[in-house]
Structure 1
């Protein structure tokens, strides 16, 4: 049987503060429409897409993003930090209608700075797949603990191919202990590409990873004047096989 392919993208939009220091939410929406919509995405994950402090208020027009991309904004009241938020601690997922959602969860991650992950289990053309997005800590020890927490969550859930995408804040392409199979219980793998800072990318902070039997293919940073100006990160996109 031929493998299905999911087109995935992740972007830390830096609360709409661009590389020029200006805060312009409309510019983020325009950049998504210009540089990501044409990719025909099945999955779009945004980080730093809510306010940094309580009540983590909304930053961008999520309904406009959904309209322009053709993706579904999945965060009903149970999947948001609060009534003024659009996502969970800045993490927002948009999914293709072809992904039939069967289970959604929010995962609190430990640390001095509140972090979290969003997990969605879905059926894609009869295949089961789990999509997780997160934004991990700047501290390496905390990233290890946070990935251990994600691994414990996966241990309690039915086994299925998992796709993890987001700003992992890990500058080393080999990722160190945080992605060790013994730590998280599964081998999440994928190549690294430089995404930060957007004008002169040096560090591969953003990642798209998956475990067996899938594979991350055609990974690339999305480069355009619009995205480089709209945030201090570049978007990352890839095709993930779902055998």
Structure 2
């Protein structure tokens, strides 16, 4: 990896429910250990990693994921939905120790299903970079509203390169209004790869995006028998340059 680059991955782990319909959190952890940990990640974002309904209870051993990947689990109590959760509405972030955290937030997003985003501002090799992860609505008009709220949040925070990754539930490669600069205040972009359904991926629901053109590279869906079995989504991996 060259200086100024972050290797990132995002994965909707479907609460440990595999493509065969069987719930097996240990299988998910094994897939992370075998397929993602060896990639030398700097950022790992998981969605649907807590239970869906209140109290959004924990499912996985986050300390095992941190040990396997060499990343830091960043969710102190203020970044969790509640005391029984590991993340915020199922979103959990793990970051490299090389990323020094300077500010953290959680953002409530409206919808029939409660949604949210996690935002972490960091210093990386002297550069400021914001890492955000979220899981957006299945309903397009709600996704537009949710992205507008994220854009309003970004306007209130210091200007720096922003990296957005997660299950954005946008099936169209071009993304439509939800990624429009006039709505978000910045143009988030990146190549797309189909990640859903994992057994025969057709839709690019999962994204890794940033403002700078061409700065999301080497993007790929991580395909293997372990990944296909462990969730209905495939993980998405990319290298993001922080100029």
- Give the structure 2 partner of residue 112 of structure 1: 112
Q: Tell me, in whole angstroms, the C-alpha distance in 1 between the residues paired with 2:223 and 2:60.
A: 21
TM-score, normalising length: structure 2: 0.98
TM-score, normalising length: structure 1: 0.98
In structure 2, relative to structure 1, the CA distance for the partners of 1:170 and 1:9 (3 Å cut) is: same
Q: Secondary structure at the match of 1:36?
A: helix
- Give the structure 1 partner of residue 171 of structure 2: 171
State the superposition RMSD in angstroms: 1.0
Alignment of 1:72-83 (within 5 A): 72-83=72-83
**Comparing 208-217 with 222-231, which one deviates more in the overlay?**
208-217
CA contact (8 A) 2:189 2:213 kept: no
For structure 2, the residue ranges without an aligned partner over 5 or more in a row are none
CA contact (8 A) 1:214 1:242 kept: no
Deviation at residue 79 of structure 1 after TM alignment: 0.6
Alignment of 1:1-243 (within 5 A): 4-212=4-212, 215-243=215-243
Q: Secondary structure at the match of 2:19?
A: coil
1:20-76 Cα deviation digits (max 9, x unpaired): 110000111100011101110000000000000000000111110000000000001
For structure 1, the residue ranges without an aligned partner over 5 or more in a row are none
1:196-230 Cα deviation digits (max 9, x unpaired): 00000010000000012771000000011111100
Deviation at residue 111 of structure 1 after TM alignment: 1.2
CA contact (8 A) 1:221 1:235 kept: yes
CA contact (8 A) 2:101 2:122 kept: yes
Deviation at residue 112 of structure 1 after TM alignment: 1.6
1:82-109 Cα deviation digits (max 9, x unpaired): 0100000000000000000000000000
Deviation at residue 3 of structure 1 after TM alignment: 5.7
Q: Tell me, in whole angstroms, the C-alpha distance in 2 between the residues paired with 1:12 and 1:112.
A: 19
Q: Tell me, in whole angstroms, the C-alpha distance in 2 between the residues paired with 1:189 and 1:213.
A: 7
Q: Tell me, in whole angstroms, the C-alpha distance in 1 between the residues paired with 2:172 and 2:212.
A: 22
Deviation at residue 110 of structure 1 after TM alignment: 1.1
CA contact (8 A) 2:194 2:202 kept: yes
Q: Tell me, in whole angstroms, the C-alpha distance in 1 between the residues paired with 2:23 and 2:214.
A: 38
1:98-139 Cα deviation digits (max 9, x unpaired): 000000000000112100000000000100000000000000
